[in-house]
Structure 1
Amino acid sequence: MEYRRVGASGLAVSDIAYGNWLTHHEPGCVAAALDAGITTFHTAAAWDGGAAEEAYGAAFSGALRDELVLCTGVFWPEGPGPNAAGLSRKHVIASCEGSLRRLRTDHIDVYQLLRFDFRTPVAETFLALSDLVRQGKVRYVGTSEWTAEQLLQAHEAAQRYDVPLIANQPHYSMLWRVAEAQVMPVCDRIGVGQFASVPLAQGVLTGKYHDGRIQAGSRAAGPAYARPLLMPELLERVELLRGVADDAGLTMAQLALAWTLQHEGVAATVAGASTPEQVTENAKASGVRLDLDVLTRIDHLLGSFVQTDPRLVWSPPAQPAPART
């Protein structure tokens, strides 16, 4: 496993990170990640009504906490009330307290603002974050799917309130390169590194859907995150990547993960897994260098299916707010 610094900060993370958005029900995946040298783990307060954070809290009970970089985030609805979502001071502080309780820890290493909140002043959010940082509950702050303009607002507020803003988490894969045109250059300028999210395109880039069939237990069998990508023409192109991966001595998943790590601004690529074996396979993408020929073949095969429009923001389908007990 290789480790990289996040942006201009001194924080080192494993370049392969594990995220438990849809896969927190398999505790063996965390053990496999630790065995592979993965030190960086992502989750969020709203995922499965807090169950994703609780899974990490149980899994890390015996792990040496100081060796881990634990990332969680706030924005999505955590209950039915009008203040149970967004980035208001009230919700940010309440959500952080809940995350600490579920994660069974006294601090969050990277606390992420998972979307921009158009109804809350950026200054209000960062003043709340400043308090959490001074209290020792948050070490660093990140964003996710913020535009270049919004990141500049965040940078200004972070400087004003002494908040260590170091990371951004864009959806970034061979197929979705929206962040490259504006977000990544701005982040480089302000010292913010990238956590590449959804690098396997919900499993599409692993080749598992090459025949268009949705297997029971796959990502596409659950909430319809992957289904918009299950176009026959795209799946045919993705299947052609198998030859590129074979020539490089990689699995298709390793090729997709390694591709994201070729961008110098990417500190880590965040992938989930359904089985411990998948975690072990993903970890082997750490440190892989793809030569120009491989990168050119990928671009040629995917062609017009690559999305680069900087105006786009990727979000999962809306889910009903969980009822807190």
Structure 2
Amino acid sequence: MDYDRQPYRRCGRSGLLLPAVSLGLWHNFGEGKPVETQRAILHKALDLGITHFDIADRYGPPFGAAESAFGRIFPKSLRDEVVVTTKGFNPMWDGPYGYGGSRKHLLATLDRSRARLGLDFVDIFYLHRDDEETPLEETAATLDHMVRTGRTLYVGVSNFSPERTAAIARLLRGLGTPLLVHQPSYSLLNRGIEDALLDVLEQEGVGCVVYSPLAQGLLTDRYLDGIPADSRAAEGRFLTPDRVTPQVLAFVRALSAIATARGQSVAQLALAWALRDPRITSVLVGASSPEQLEANVACVDRLDFTDDELTAIEQAAKEAGISA
């Protein structure tokens, strides 16, 4: 493992460091994916100093398959050198206890995740999204219980509003189990967390690990000449053709010119841009090949931006009609 390949950033006001670029197992781990490719991606991640692997109980397909694949492939001798995360909330089995933020569901789904992963504990357990039908006090007490019973070292939330993030952070702090991290979506095409959430995280001392920093592949050169037949947009898989608009393509072309002048690809520029804010702990990237992962991690070779570059990016978004 090359610990010098990329920087490690402190997660909020905790003692935990995470790599600037982390690996998410959302799309490319599970049944139907060649085991050899999954193993090669995982080993390349370790070679690139990626110590943080982001999973969820629903990742696959089918549900649970990404956790099972990771559990089979990951070399257990490196357990103390990595951070393994998973999430709970979404429907996982039939019946009233198969989903949600209740104590009943969350403890059961985490225990099932640990079994699939082959781990006694995970490093971070996230509540995947907010459950406004369950009292926040119950959910916070459950997260605290998970830490105290050794099921997880840290807890986090994902897709929470700024107000609900502040509320659960206060509840957890009162219980003695600080909220470690929030995981929102963030990219040059989705800047909503700049309005209030990042300020809340800074005030509460919570880290921020962002997903979809490449906007499901829109912030790459993948669609500049049309929608490829084998692309995510063509398949309607988490990205639909209607999102590949002339405005988006005009913006990406402008970004491409800025990236070329910086010696980067569009994807590398987009990742570096997301990391420009010190409140962002890490960006999550997926990878369909070791080569793609290596190219994405290379964003760390140029993380600095001049004022002129940032101005040019903002101007390109304005001219293309891209809303933050």
TM over 0.5: yes
Deviations 1:113-148 (A, max 9, x none): 111101111111111111110111111111111111
Question: AA paired with 1:11?
Answer: L
Cα deviation digits, residues 226-276 of structure 1 (max 9, x gap): 224211231122122111111001111111110100011000000101111
Number of the residue aligned with 1:8: 13
Residue 150 of structure 1, CA deviation: 0.3
> Structure 2: how far apart are the matches of 1:104 and 1:240?
46
Question: What's the counterpart of residue 197 of structure 1?
Answer: 211
SS where residue 153 of structure 2 aligns? strand
Q: Which runs of 5+ in 2 are unaligned?
A: 1-5
Q: Is the 8 A contact 1:77 1:86 kept in 2?
A: yes
In 1, are the aligned partners of 2:317 and 2:323 still within 8 Å (CA)? no
Identity within the alignment, %: 37
Is residue 129–residue 157 contact of structure 2 (8 Å, CA) maintained in 1?
A: yes
TM-score (normalised: structure 1): 0.91
Name the CA distance, whole Å, in 2 between partners of 1:163 and 1:300.
43
- Farther off after superposition, 126-135 or 287-296: 287-296
Q: Does the 8 Å contact 2:169/2:178 carry over to 1?
A: no
Match of 1:23, SS state, is: coil
Structure 2 residue aligned with 1:17, among 10, 17, 22? 22
Instruction: Find 2:105's aligned residue among 72, 77, 91.
Output: 91
What letter is aligned with 2:312? R
SS of match in other structure, 1:127: helix
Q: Secondary structure at the match of 1:126?
A: helix
Q: Which has the higher contact order (CA 8 A, sep 6+)?
A: 1
Return the alpha-carbon distance in structure 2 between the equivalents of residues 22 and 78 of structure 1: 18
**Which one of 125, 130, 134 corresponds to residue 120 of structure 1?**
134
Moved more, 198-207 or 48-57: 48-57
1:53 matched to 2:58? The reply is no
2:187–2:215 Cα contact (<8 Å) kept = yes
Q: What's the offset of the Cα at 1:306? A: 4.0
- Structure 2 partner of 1:69: 83
Structure 2 SS opposite 1:266: coil
Task: Give the distance between the partners of 1:221 and 1:85, measured in 2 at CA.
Answer: 31
Give me the whole-angstrom Cα distance separating, in 1, the residues matched to 2:215 and 2:21.
Answer: 16
Note if contact 1:29-1:276 (Cα within 8 Å) is conserved in structure 2. Answer: yes
Partner Cα distance (1:45, 1:305) in 2: 37
Of residues 197, 204, 211, the one that matches 1:183 is 197
What RMSD over aligned residues (CA atoms) do the two structures have, in Å? 1.5
1:219 has 2:232 as partner = yes
* TM-superposed deviation, 1:305: 4.6
Aligned position for 2:167:
153
CA distance, structure 2, for counterparts of residue 179 and residue 21 of structure 1: 21
Who is 1:36 aligned against?
48
Check if 1:293 corresponds to 2:308: yes
Tell me which amino acid in the other structure corresponds to 2:78: L
Letter in 2 for 1:16: V
State the 1:4 CA deviation: 0.4
CA drift of 1:193 comes to 1.1
